[in-house]
Amino acid sequence: MTEVKLAKGLKFRSFLVRHLTPSFKIEKLPRSRKLLNFIKGKATKKLKFEQVFIERDDKSLLRVCVYRPLTEQVNAPGIVWFHGGGYGTGIPEMDESRIKMIIEESKATLISVDYTLSFEKPYPHALLDAYLALEWFYNSTLKYNVNKKQIIVGGISAGGGLAAALTLYARKKGKIKIAFQMPLYPMLDDRMITDSSNNSIDPIWTPKDNRIAWDYYLRDFDRNHSDIIYAAPSRCEDLSNLPPLISYVGTVDTFYDETVLYVDKLRKAGVEAKLKVIEGACHAFDVLAPRSLVGIEANEFFSSEFRYALDNYFTE
């Protein structure tokens, strides 16, 4: 791999994070999830907040967090959001700062999905939860004053991968059209066949972490099955008729190569795709150091492209 260096403002913070959470370990996932319960069911930002529980086919309940601006608008955009965590940890509430920023930009109603994690059940349960939430939201647009022609999906890391997978799955189902997608530094390819996925110096999400996470997420699934594309979108050969994309990724990120390659495949398939490559940025750099130069660069790009997408991308 060509030598890359961490950008200013990331070294010390990434060292601290890595020291506190040394690696992605399967046996620690339930405890990691449990530690997040202290923020579960609460909204600390100035947003309207409610929890909705959607019944699955097996009668269990999928929790969805609904965030709305204090002053709502009619015919607002609707966003389905997915948190990161390597498919093995995380809850919707941990993305609240980003959610607030997105809602301030758009006046959207945003739902963040508490999808099934890999230590609970492996693929395809997270995907099925994602589609169930999308379907529920689509059928609830009147209640939430949401424009059915502007349903958006997005997420970070594994959540970004899940958002990308959901666009493929929704295309297959043929019932709900998505206006555009926002998978940020997404987890897209279980094969780990790129340079960065094997040789990255990313201190936050290492190639070893990535391999463990993928193997656990796909532990009961035949990777030769055609439905693997709904777990790992990079495997999909036909990316036509997918919604436009906004994304960014750092050059130090383990997901750097697969993100760039996926965007290139989308463009070749005729899909409008906007990607910002952030020099020297590692995984989750925008969470780690949002006020750093690279954090500001990513935020400015996202805000600009997000506003453009809101003005221009609607389904028929």
Over residues 234-278, the pLDDT tens digits come to 999 999 999 999 999 999 999 999 999 999 999 999 999 999 999
What is the rounded distance in angstroms from the CA atom of residue 57 to the CA atom of residue 93?
A: 25
Question: For residue 128, what pLDDT is reported?
Answer: 99
**pTM across the whole model:** 0.94
* Average pLDDT estimate for 26-36: 76
E strand or H helix at 8, and its extent? none
**Whether residue 108 has pLDDT greater than 60:** yes
- pLDDT-based confidence at 2, cuts 50/70/90? low
What is the rounded distance in angstroms from the CA atom of residue 282 to the CA atom of residue 19?
A: 16
**Whether residue 132 has pLDDT greater than 90:** yes
Question: For residue 97, what pLDDT is reported?
Answer: 95
**C-alpha 182, offset from chain centre:** 7
| CB 113, CB 125: distance < 8 Å | no
283, with CB counted inside 10 A (0-12, 13-18, 19+), is buried
Helices (H), the chain: 11-20, 29-35, 96-106, 125-138, 158-173, 195-199, 207-217, 256-268, 285-288, 293-312
What is the rounded distance in angstroms from the CA atom of residue 14 to the CA atom of residue 232?
A: 27
Instruction: Give me the residue spans of the domains in the chain.
Output: 11-311
Specify the CATH superfamily of domain 11-311: Alpha/Beta hydrolase fold, catalytic domain (3.40.50.1820)
What is the rounded distance in angstroms from the CA atom of residue 110 to the CA atom of residue 140?
A: 12
What is the rounded distance in angstroms from the CA atom of residue 114 to the CA atom of residue 63?
A: 5
Over residues 165-222, the pLDDT tens digits come to 999 999 999 999 999 999 999 999 999 999 999 999 999 999 999 999 999 999 999 9
Question: For residue 13, what pLDDT is reported?
Answer: 63
Question: For residue 165, what pLDDT is reported?
Answer: 99
